[in-house]
Amino acid sequence: RKEVEQDPGPFNVPEGATVAFNCTYSNSASQSFFWYRQDCRKEPKLLMSVYSSGNEDGRFTAQLNRASQYISLLIRDSKLSDSATYLCVVNEATGGFKTIFGAGTRLFVKA
Amino acid sequence: EAGVAQSPRYKIIEKRQSVAFWCNPISGHATLYWYQQILGQGPKLLIQFQNNGVVDDSQLPKDRFSAERLKGVDSTLKIQPAKLEDSAVYLCASSWDRQETQYFGPGTRLLVL
């Protein structure tokens, strides 16, 4: 099992749709979680941190379920500009600190 | 605030040659990361520094890759000798401390022929 696994893509959705991505992690001792966005041929940029209580930033909502070891990202009212790859990131702290990126889920939003 | 700087932006070399990449993190950031991102995959952490000490280099192919962060600021990543499978984007990132938000540089796109 991979340390961090994401939904395989690509997701093709129309503008205005709601889309959800899931990410599972294998190490129960993982401590912090993030969603990054990566545009084609660009570097990853932080979209949002993921907290145990869940957090929302405009059209984006992130949730963490420690019991089931997964995090999710919900995008409401999709825009064309949301088209990108979404990367799940997990920080582990067992025997040292380790950052693990998922392979990413590609999203295409179409007019 | 200046972002993470990397150079060169592009590099083409032949297999068995050597190559070096440079990274200047955001001022004051204690943690510096080097990632390898192969086309279609997520970034893979190669090495993580906390100031000038190595925190994690478990995925660094030490027979050919080396990295240093002298004085706890700038860092260089070297590949010697390069193989075809080293063709990738090499990303440098920095953060205030471990497990904090990482800020990425634009990357160096390496092509090994």
**C-beta separation of A22 from A9 below 8 A:** no
Nearest C-alpha of chain A: how many angstroms from B107? 7
How is the beta sheet containing B75-79 ordered, strand by strand?
Answer: B5-7, B19-24, B75-79, B65-68
Mean pLDDT of B33-46: 95
Percentage of chain A beyond pLDDT 90 is 77
**CB-based contact (8 Å) between B72 and chain A?**
no
State residue B92's pLDDT score. 98
State which of A12-16, A88-92, B1-5 shows the largest mean pLDDT: A12-16
* Separation of alpha carbons A54 and B100, rounded Å: 18
Report the candidate in A25, A71, B40, A70 with the shortest Cα–Cα distance to residue A62: A71
In this complex, the residue of B42, B56, B107 whose CB is nearest that of residue A96 is B56
CA dihedral A58, A49, A5, B33 (to 10 degrees): 130
- The reply to whether residue B56 touches residue A98, judged by beta carbons under 8 angstroms, is yes
Q: Is the pLDDT of residue A95 over 70?
A: no
- The reply to whether residue B101 touches residue A44, judged by beta carbons under 8 angstroms, is no
**CB-based contact (8 Å) between B41 and chain A?**
yes
